[in-house]
Amino acid sequence: MRHAVIMAGGSGTRLWPMSRRGRPKQLVPMLDGRTLLHMAWERLEGLLEPECIYVCGAEEHREIVLDSIQGLLPRNFIGEPMGRDTLNAVGLSAVVLSTRDPDAAMAVVTADHIIEPRHRFQSYVARGLELVEQDPRAMVTFGIEPTSPATGFGYLELGERVGDGVHVLRKFKEKPDAQTAAEYLAAGPERYLWNSGMFVWRAHTLLDCVRRYEPAVFEGLERIRDAWETDAHPQVLAEVYPTLKKISVDYAVMEPASEDPTVRLYAIPMSLEWMDVGNWRSYAQMCPADDNGNRIGAERAVLEDCRQVLVASSDPTHVIAVVGCEDLMVVHTPEATLVCPSSRAEDVKRLTDTISRHHGTDVL
């Protein structure tokens, strides 16, 4: 049977102070009052029945997630005791699906992207599901055509075309330096694509790769699986999961799989609108721009003689006024305010470490 798991465990520190530990970015209203998680759920509606859609996120956010996604079954929320990177989130999800459906075809999709149009996204995911149903050895990833020499994304190196819209995946390329990223862009989308972070595979195929490439992680996941449908499951999960090696599924599985003749890796280029809402600069692209490039994501804001300024606020009673500024981001919440040049949006993640040292973690 076909299933999908929405990965919703990210902390979103680059979108502080709106993204907080108690309500990370995927649970913050972003567009027309909808959260990124809600948009991810909507993208799957009509492709799969609600009972086949899962969300994997932090256990501490269980109630918030279930309250915000009305169609999500409580048993389909897969709670992580703590974040241990994507290998373990995906592995835990595969464990849950395989206990309920040994032949589960499993799409792994993200909760931190804006993707349009929905019907085209669904057609690509359906094509990936078809591939793994036809060949259990197949593992599918999805690529996005680069629009800039971005150094913040991984890349997919494409091999020969093997079907309608399907390529052999030759190699995963981790986040490159600026010169290499420029070379990838120049080579064109027939050679290199951005790695979307979305996959399709059989649950048992993914777990078999974990068994061979990361045996210690597999051993821990096996202990969790043995206890999953028993009363001991919460205790075993809490004891074992924090001990699992913290590593991404790209490094742990997809890179060695590209050298493994027992696995068949495919890439499907996605031709659609795709935005990774990873920092405040990308968030700004969601807000309409005025004639001076200013963008407002706040109910009460006044900008005079400003250019390329972003104002965002979660406090409808607070007025933000900015005069004579350029290339600036002002983000306000009732608990904290961020002001920084737009060009330094990536530094917000490092800033949160400094804040925690000087002011504790309450405001994080």
Residues 280 and 206 sit within 8 Å (Cβ to Cβ): no
Give the pLDDT of residue 232. 94
Instruction: Say yes or no to pLDDT of 112 above 90.
Output: no
The confidence score (pLDDT) of residue 199 equals 98
Q: State residue 31's pLDDT score.
A: 67
- Using pLDDT thresholds of 50, 70 and 90, give the confidence band for residue 359: confident
- Are 304 and 243 in contact, with CB atoms under 8 Å apart? no
Tokens standing for residue 190: 């027939």
Average the pLDDT over 235-258 and give the result.
95
pLDDT at residue 174 in the model: 80
Total count of residues recorded for the chain: 364
The tens digit of pLDDT for each residue in 115-135 reads 999 999 999 999 999 999 999
Nearest one of 61, 53, 54 to 26, comparing CA atoms = 61
- Cα 278–143–86 angle (5° rounding)? 55
- Do 364 and 332 form a contact (C-beta atoms < 8 A)? no
Collapsing DSSP to helix, strand or coil, 222 comes out as helix
Of the listed ranges 6-20, 196-210, 227-241, the least confidently predicted one is 6-20
**235: Cα within 13 Å, side-chain hemisphere:** 3
Each residue's pLDDT tens digit, 345-357: 888 988 888 888 8
* Backbone φ, ψ for residue 261 (5° rounding): -70, -15
pLDDT at 9: 86
Assess whether the previous peptide bond of 17 is cis (omega < 30° from 0).
Answer: yes
CB 91 within 8 A of CB 225: no
Q: pLDDT tens-digit profile of 1-48?
A: 999 999 998 777 889 998 888 888 888 887 677 889 999 999 999 999
Q: What is residue 67's predicted lDDT score, i.e. its pLDDT?
A: 92
Question: What is the Cα–Cα distance from 167 to 160, expressed in whole angstroms?
Answer: 6
Q: Are 304 and 322 in contact (CB under 8 A)?
A: yes
User: Which H or E element spans position 132?
Assistant: helix 118-134
What are 270's strand-pairing partners? 144
Angle between helices 215-227 and 203-213 (to 10 degrees): 130
The DSSP result for 223-269, as a single string, is HHHHHTTSTTHHHHHHHHGGGS----HIIIIIHHHTT-TTSEEEEEE
pTM for the whole structure: 0.92
Chain segment 144-179, per-residue pLDDT in tens: 999 989 888 889 999 999 988 899 999 988 888 999
Percent of the chain with pLDDT over 70: 99
pLDDT at residue 111, as a whole number: 93
Helix extents (H) in 250-343: 255-257, 280-284
pLDDT digits (tens, 9 = 90+) for 254-302: 999 989 999 999 999 999 998 888 888 888 888 899 999 999 999 899 9
The pLDDT score that the predictor gives to residue 33 is 73
My answer on whether omega of the bond before 74 falls inside 30° of 0, hence cis, is: no
Both ends of the chain: CA-CA distance in Å? 40
Residue-level pLDDT at 20: 85
